[in-house]
Structure 1
Amino acid sequence: MLNDVLGISGNEDPHFPDENIIEWNIYAGLGAEEHIPHDEARQRMMRILNNIRAAGRRHYIERSLPRLNGAQALHFAITSPVHSLDPAYVPDLDEWMSLPADATWCLQLEHAYLTLTLTRDMERLDRNKPGAYFLKLSLVGSKEEARQIVGPAKRSDWQNALSSELPLLKQDRDQAEETLRRRGVVIDSAYQDPSIP
């Protein structure tokens, strides 16, 4: 899947010693070369995403964000960089060139969450010249994902904090989706959040 890994790191949390490493990070290029044509970068990234999806991972949308997919997710991510892109959607070159400096795709399978962040050199956006791309993959388990939901202040008591945090996230999502519906944006109402341990 990734041939050009530059480094791997892991994070632990002394408050949860039984979990050992709570987050893995893999740093990679999209190829061995330092600069690659933008369309080649687009195709390589789509192959990486297709391989991950073929392994059973599905699109994950953060619980406070609107449930968008396809081009709708891309257009929202351009104006709201906190929103991730749909890993099943293949942007054309024009859409690819309009992505934010840090584009993310989030996927989930059972109790594991994978976030891919593609960073590109914003000084190299001439589509007729090669660009520079850097990829970070972050993998966390469902307990760590839940702790990230409640934030640093409530991290040590995350299981109790979730019961008050989840309704607030749903409220944020509902409000965002209602605003988008009024503008004619299609919401993926079939999307279901994964269960929390």
Structure 2
Amino acid sequence: MSLSLHRRRLLLTAGAACAAAALVPVLCRRYRDPTSSPAITTAMASTPATIALGDPKNFDLRAPGAGIDRQPVGMYFYERNWPMKQLGRVRYLQGRRSFDIPWVSGVMGSADPDEPEQGIYSWHVTAFAMQEARIAHELARDRLFSMFRDLLMVGWRPFVEVGDPRLFGAQAVRYQLQERGGVYLDASYLPTMEQWMQINEYLPIWRFWADGVYMSVRVVDEPALRDPAVEGVYMFSITLDSEAPHFWTYFDKVEDMHRWKELIPAEMARVAATRPGKEAELRRQGYVIDENYRDPPILALGQVQGT
């Protein structure tokens, strides 16, 4: 699937957690005339919903609008959607790593009733950069990085895939633009407006980890409004995974996913072995590698920070 098609599908459906039927007409009205003034003003619900991984008793989606979708395949999805005229606030709870997300249109938590001890193992949150129908591109960038600063202050750390080169700051942006994607960007590096408008062509992703939880933040903008002289529309897609679903992605077979604790050490070693060659090639191209970066510990295997 092309980036443009993937982007539009993400934006118009506003992610898996949203009520697509309700959102699409609103978003279409927003995009109909890129030069028109905003026609929709939204308010944000005052009382935040709370979400947390693990025991379902530890979160409160603040009904009405919340529910459990019990799928025939056996999965449970805990959902809540907010109307576009009154976007919600969500607080993610993880002790000192807790943080708030404003202007939320939907949340969805995933659980497997066959493994109740695992509880909710993943949350997906769909939010916007603004209450208004449109937003200045610079303000959208600044609001995203304000959230990133909050995350870094409470102890979330940047994450690099085990087999990927350790690029940060302007080095990661350079790679993103040169390769048209393919690397996570650095939450501590504020891109220039020229860079911001360019990297948004490639569905940029920022990744974090903290205490066995992995978070990704993807930015989706509307390409028709990617003009510095015209206000845009931005959606933030935020996913929080416990260790199990994070490491499931390394396997194709369901039976291997169930055995991930047994299989992941060898898989990590295999993937990690590809990093030195990639970094050596990038050094030859003039890139600077952050050799101080260390991969996160795998808590389920008894690893601790520094091993």
Pick the TM interval, shorter chain.
Answer: over 0.9
The 5 Å alignment of 1:10-21 reads: 10-13=109-112, 16-21=115-120
Matched to 1:83, the amino acid is V
> Following TM superposition, by how much is the alpha carbon of 1:81 offset from its aligned partner in structure 2, in angstroms?
2.2
Q: Does 1:52 align with 2:151?
A: yes
Counterpart selection for 2:215 from 114, 131, 135: 114
The 5 Å alignment of 1:27-46 reads: 27-46=126-145
> Following TM superposition, by how much is the alpha carbon of 1:151 offset from its aligned partner in structure 2, in angstroms?
4.1
Counterpart selection for 1:92 from 169, 181, 192: 192
Matched to 2:102, the amino acid is N
For residues 150-175 of structure 1, give each alpha carbon's deviation from its aligned partner in whole angstroms, at most 9, with x where no partner exists: 34442111122213211221122222
> Following TM superposition, by how much is the alpha carbon of 1:92 offset from its aligned partner in structure 2, in angstroms?
0.8
Matched to 1:186, the amino acid is V
The 5 Å alignment of 1:142-161 reads: 142-153=243-254, 154-161=256-263
TM-score (norm 1): 0.93
Counterpart selection for 2:275 from 152, 170, 173: 173
Secondary structure of the equivalent of 2:289? coil
Q: Does 1:126 align with 2:227?
A: yes
The runs of 5 or more residues in structure 1 that have no matched partner are none
- 2:236 is aligned to 135
Secondary structure of the equivalent of 2:273? helix
Secondary structure of the equivalent of 2:295? coil
- 1:104 is aligned to 205
- From the CA coordinates, give the structure whose radius of gyration is larger: 2
- Rounded to whole Å, the distance in 2 between the matches of 1:15 and 1:168 is 31
- Rounded to whole Å, the distance in 1 between the matches of 2:223 and 2:116 is 40
- Rounded to whole Å, the distance in 1 between the matches of 2:270 and 2:194 is 36
Secondary structure of the equivalent of 1:84? coil
Name the count of aligned residue pairs: 197
Runs of 4+ with deviation above 3 angstroms = 13-17, 150-153
- 1:186 is aligned to 288
> Following TM superposition, by how much is the alpha carbon of 1:21 offset from its aligned partner in structure 2, in angstroms?
1.3
* Greater mean alpha carbon deviation, residues 68-77 or residues 79-88: 79-88
Secondary structure of the equivalent of 2:207? strand
For residues 63-86 of structure 1, give each alpha carbon's deviation from its aligned partner in whole angstroms, at most 9, with x where no partner exists: 111111001111222325231110
Using CA pairs under 8 Å that are at least 6 residues apart, name the structure with larger relative contact order, 1 or 2: 1
TM-score (norm 2): 0.61
Contact 2:180 2:202 in 1 (8 A): no
